[in-house]
């Protein structure tokens, strides 16, 4: 027999063994240790071999980063599925979404899953940012903090571009209103808006641009930065903690202690999403009427705080407040370099009182500002002032000034940059949540109604 | 051969008779030049990509268009040209066209007894588009309106007027129809 045939025959007879070995490269059950396994396995190699015990406590991180990553993967999968039917033209965008919602098998489920995961991702990314900020976990992690800020901006960008795609009345007007904000940027606003929309108004050009951003550009950048973000966690030595002598740290093997917890979190999260998607479908309004908004156009909930501030003043609410906030967040790990209480909520116990005081004071002032500016007399008095006064006198400016006062006062009183940032951060957080709730209560003509009140325009 | 007599491996970038520092600085220079070239290339590509995405033409109807005849607009009435987001007001003083979009964030306005209100953020305007209250900072713009020989009224959205209110429509020498 030709040696060719005999060789082929031998390999065929040993095929099961080679399949097992060849598809599991580097596995040797005889010698494999835990550490070897953690390094060999693709999914496990993201983890360290051992993790500090205290980082396993649920309250240390609430697993928010992992949740955000899981949601990103769910969104990628469900998003690609939606692309099979969705047509990004102004004639077919709405009808193809209708098809997905009402005709395609499992279409409504996939759409609802995508929507719920998107809303959840905005929430978990925001909470993740809060966790890292309030725990001081940016300590000596300047690069990863900066990457993280870019990631949350990308998350907002993805949520916003995705909001337009169903092309119903609500999505059309929410995006129209939000992009008109750009008109209020001096000098470059008009060109910036035309660059984003491909024209003066939201139309076909804007739809295809938002689509390209939503399905390719933003997720691509996010994938790259996200991988970088995960890699930096390992490079920075795992989750942030106070610099201690190594012997003080009790560690546990990542397998099974960390990996099991992660698996459980992922399973629970995905199950909840599936339940939500099954029982609460994504809304789809009527076809867009591009000449007539419904009598209440609200942005998606995560932009409500901006819309509320913008309803007082476009420059302050749309640019000054978010601009100052973003700049402060960018500078935070460079200006706040205290190594005490790293990885602990609100820092060192003795200084936490300042954060509580800031919260109480800012709640009071928020309520006061809103009460003053909702009085009819104040509105008409303001209307007769010069534009600069009208733009600057509003609750958003008030809360911003309050944050600066708290920053200085808490910093000086506690002799601590950490406390200064925590106090100011608390004021901003109260403002953001407060404005969101107030905007959420607004009814037709942007009139404030309590949740238990009926919307009537009699007043 | 005695291993100790094997000459040390030499760097391809420096020769023994050349001062080390000079070689290093040359290498530094080349490295920097390489980085700069790569950076410049990236910058050019990025600039090109941005320019590529800047719209070169616009879709949508023209900004200058006919919108009806004088007879279409009754005396002392306000009409809404829905498809063009325009209000047209005719009074004894003349006829004028002004935007039906809020100058705050562009929502279409609703009529009220006193004027207009924006459903999005509650900006209020008077009957001639002047600001009453709310977040809007600019009054509603009025546009240049004229009558052509064929009897059709034209408006140019590219030409906002400095004045507010209806303007006297100058009849051309001869109006057909």
Instruction: Convert B99-118 to b/e letters by CB count within 10 Å (16 or more is b).
Output: bbbbbbbbbbbbeeeebbbb
The pLDDT of B118-129, averaged and rounded, is 87
Residue A92, sorted as left (phi over 0), alpha (psi -120 to 50) or beta, turns out to be alpha
The 10s digit of each residue's pLDDT in A44-80 is 888 888 888 888 888 889 999 999 999 999 999 999 9
Best residue in B51, B84, B116, B135 for a mutation probing chain A (most A CBs within 10 Å): B135
**Is there a contact between B122 and A390 if contact means CB atoms under 8 Å apart?**
no
Cβ(A207)–Cβ(A164) below 8 Å: yes
pLDDT for res B10 = 54
CA distance A230 to A148: 10
Q: Which residue of B lies nearest to A297 if distances are taken between CA atoms?
A: B120
d(CA B84, CA A153): 35
Q: Which residues contact B134 (CB under 8 A, 6 or more apart)?
A: A311, A379, A383, B104, B118, B121, B122, B123, B124
Q: Is A224 helix (H, G, I), strand (E, B) or coil?
A: helix
The predicted-structure confidence for A288-326, as pLDDT tens digits, reads as follows 988 888 767 778 889 889 889 988 888 898 889 999 999
Per-residue pLDDT, B122: 83
User: What whole-number distance in Å separates Cα of residue A121 and Cα of residue A117?
Assistant: 6
B51 touches chain A (CB under 8 A): no
Contact in structure between A158 and A260 (CB atoms under 8 Å): no
Q: A84, A110 in Cβ contact below 8 A?
A: no
Q: Does residue A459 surpass a pLDDT of 50?
A: no
> Using the beta-carbon criterion (under 8 Å), do B108 and A447 form an inter-chain contact?
no
Residue A330 token pair: 């960018």
Whether residue B20 is predicted with pLDDT greater than 70 in this model: the reply is: no
Please give the average per-residue pLDDT across A325-353, as a whole number. 89
Provide φ and ψ at B125, rounded to 5°.
-125, 155
Q: Please state which CATH class domain A45-292 belongs to.
A: mainly alpha
Quote the ipTM score.
0.78
Locate A197 and state its tokens: 């929309």
Q: Is B60 on the interface with A (CB under 8 A)?
A: yes
The residue extents of the domains of chain B are 15-59, 64-160
Q: Bridge-partner residues for B156, per DSSP?
A: B64, B144
Buried/exposed A35-70: b ≥16 CB within 10 Å, e otherwise: eeebeebeebebbbbbbbeebbeeebbebbbbbbbb
Cβ contacts of A292 on chain B, cutoff 8 Å: 82, 108
Alpha carbons B88 and B96: distance in angstroms, whole number: 6
| Rounded Cα–Cα distance for residues A82 and A102 (Å) | 13
Beta carbons of B120 and A294 less than 8 Å apart: no
The alpha-carbon gap from B19 to the nearest alpha carbon of chain A, in Å, equals 39
What's the pTM value of the predicted model, to 2 decimals?
0.88
- Whole-number average pLDDT of chain B: 83
CB-CB under 8 Å, B134 with A383: yes
- Judge: A310–B137 Cβ closer than 8 Å, yes or no: no
Instruction: Provide the pLDDT for residue B104.
Output: 86
Q: Give the pLDDT score at B7.
A: 55
Q: Name which of A195, A198, A314 is nearest B135 (Cβ-Cβ).
A: A314
Q: What is the CATH number of domain B64-160?
A: 2.102.10.10
**Alpha-carbon gap: A184 to the closest alpha carbon of chain B (Å):** 9
How far away is chain A from the Cα of B36, in angstroms, using its nearest Cα?
A: 23
Domain limits, CATH 1.20.810.10, in chain A: 45-292
> What is the model's pLDDT at position B177?
42
Q: Do A177 and B135 touch (CB under 8 A)?
A: no
| Chain B residues within an 8 Å CB radius of A391 | 137
For residue A312, what is the nearest residue in chain B, using CA coordinates? B135
Residue B34 has pLDDT above 50, yes or no: yes
- The DSSP string of B110-149 is EE-SSEEE-TTT--EEETTS-EEESS--SPPPEEEEEE-T
Q: Which residues of B touch A381 (CB under 8 A)?
A: none
Place of tokens 């047209």: B88
| Residue-by-residue DSSP string for B61-72 | S-SEEEEEEGGG
Token digits of residue A172: 């059309």
A205 vs B83: CB contact, 8 Å cut-off? Answer: no
Asked if B58's CB is within 8 angstroms of A199's CB, the reply is yes
| Lowest pLDDT segment from A81-95, A410-424, B119-133 | B119-133
Residue range A172-215, pLDDT digits in tens: 998 988 888 888 777 888 889 999 999 888 999 999 999 999 99
Q: Which chain A residue's Cα is nearest to B137? A: A387
How far apart (Å, rounded) are the C-alpha atoms in residues A124 and A162? 18
Answer whether A118's CB lies under 8 Å from A276's CB: no
Percent of chain A having pLDDT more than 90?
Answer: 59
C-alpha to C-alpha distance for A28 and A143, rounded to whole angstroms:
38
H/E segment holding residue B154: strand B152-160
Highest-confidence range of A31-40, A117-126, A300-309, by mean pLDDT?
A117-126
Q: B59 and A199 in contact by Cβ < 8 A?
A: yes
Which residues of chain A make contact with B121, given a CB cutoff of 8 A? Answer: 307, 310-311, 446
């Amino acid at each position: 027999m030709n040696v060719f045939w005999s060789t082929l025959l031998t390999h065929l007879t040993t095929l099961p063994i080679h399949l097992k070995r060849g598809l599991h490269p580097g596995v040797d059950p005889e010698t494999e240790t835990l550490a070897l396994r953690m390094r060999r396995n693709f999914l496990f190699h993201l983890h360290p071999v051992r993790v500090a015990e205290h980082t396993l406590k649920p309250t240390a991180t609430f697993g928010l980063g992992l949740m955000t990553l899981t949601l990103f993967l769910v969104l990628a999968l469900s998003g690609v599925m939606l692309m099979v039917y969705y047509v990004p033209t102004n004639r077919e965008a709405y009808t193809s979404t209708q098809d997905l919602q009402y005709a395609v098998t499992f279409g409504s489920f996939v759409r609802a899953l995508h929507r719920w995961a998107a809303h959840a991702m905005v929430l978990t990314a925001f909470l993740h940012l809060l966790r890292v900020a309030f725990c001081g976990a940016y300590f000596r992690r300047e690069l990863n903090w900066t990457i993280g800020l870019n990631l949350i901006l990308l998350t907002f960008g993805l949520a916003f571009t995705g909001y337009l795609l169903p092309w119903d009345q609500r999505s059309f007007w929410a995006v129209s209103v939000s992009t008109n904000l750009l008109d209020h940027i001096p000098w470059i606003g008009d060109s910036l808006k035309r660059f984003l929309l491909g024209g003066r108004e939201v139309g076909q050009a804007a739809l295809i641009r938002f689509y390209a951003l939503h399905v390719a550009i933003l997720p691509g950048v996010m994938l790259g930065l996200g991988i970088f973000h995960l890699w930096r966690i390992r490079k920075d030595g795992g989750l942030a903690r106070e610099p201690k002598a190594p012997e003080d740290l009790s560690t546990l093997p990542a397998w099974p202690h960390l990996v099991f917890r992660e698996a459980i979190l992922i399973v629970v999260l995905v199950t909840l999403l599936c339940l939500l998607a099954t029982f609460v479908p994504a809304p789809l309004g009527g076809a867009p009427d591009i000449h007539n908004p419904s009598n209440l156009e609200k942005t998606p909930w995560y932009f409500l705080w901006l819309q509320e501030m913008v309803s007082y003043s476009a420059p302050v609410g749309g640019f000054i407040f978010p601009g100052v906030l973003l700049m402060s967040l960018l500078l935070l790990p460079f200006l706040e370099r205290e190594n005490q209480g790293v990885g602990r909520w609100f820092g060192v116990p003795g200084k936490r009182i300042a954060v509580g005081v800031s919260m109480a004071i800012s709640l009071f002032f928020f309520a006061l500002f809103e009460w003053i500016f909702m009085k009819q007399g104040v509105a008409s008095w303001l209307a007769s002032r010069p534009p600069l006064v009208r733009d600057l006198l509003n609750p958003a400016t008030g809360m911003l000034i309050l944050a600066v006062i708290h920053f200085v006062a808490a910093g000086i009183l506690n002799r601590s940059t950490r406390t200064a940032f925590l106090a100011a951060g608390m004021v901003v957080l109260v403002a953001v949540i407060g404005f969101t709730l107030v905007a959420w209560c607004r009814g037709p003509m942007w009139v404030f109604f309590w949740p238990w009140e009926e919307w009537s325009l009699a007043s | 051969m005695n291993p100790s007599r094997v000459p040390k491996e030499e760097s391809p970038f420096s020769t023994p008779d050349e001062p080390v520092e000079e070689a290093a600085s040359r290498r530094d220079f080349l490295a920097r030049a390489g980085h700069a070239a790569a950076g410049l290339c990236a910058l050019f590509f990025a600039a090109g990509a941005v320019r590529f995405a800047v719209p070169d033409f616009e879709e949508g109807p023209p900004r200058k268009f006919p919108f009806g005849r004088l007879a279409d607009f009754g005396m002392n009435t306000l009409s809404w040209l829905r498809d063009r987001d325009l209000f047209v007001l005719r009074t004894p003083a003349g006829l004028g066209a002004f935007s039906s979009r809020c100058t705050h964030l562009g929502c279409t306005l609703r009529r009220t007894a006193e004027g207009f209100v924006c459903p999005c953020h509650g900006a209020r305007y008077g009957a001639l588009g002047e600001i009453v209250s709310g977040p809007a900072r600019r009054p509603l713009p009025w546009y240049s309106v004229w009558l052509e020989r064929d009897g059709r009224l034209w408006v140019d959205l590219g030409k906002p007027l400095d004045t507010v209110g209806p303007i006297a429509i100058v009849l051309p020498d001869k109006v057909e129809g």
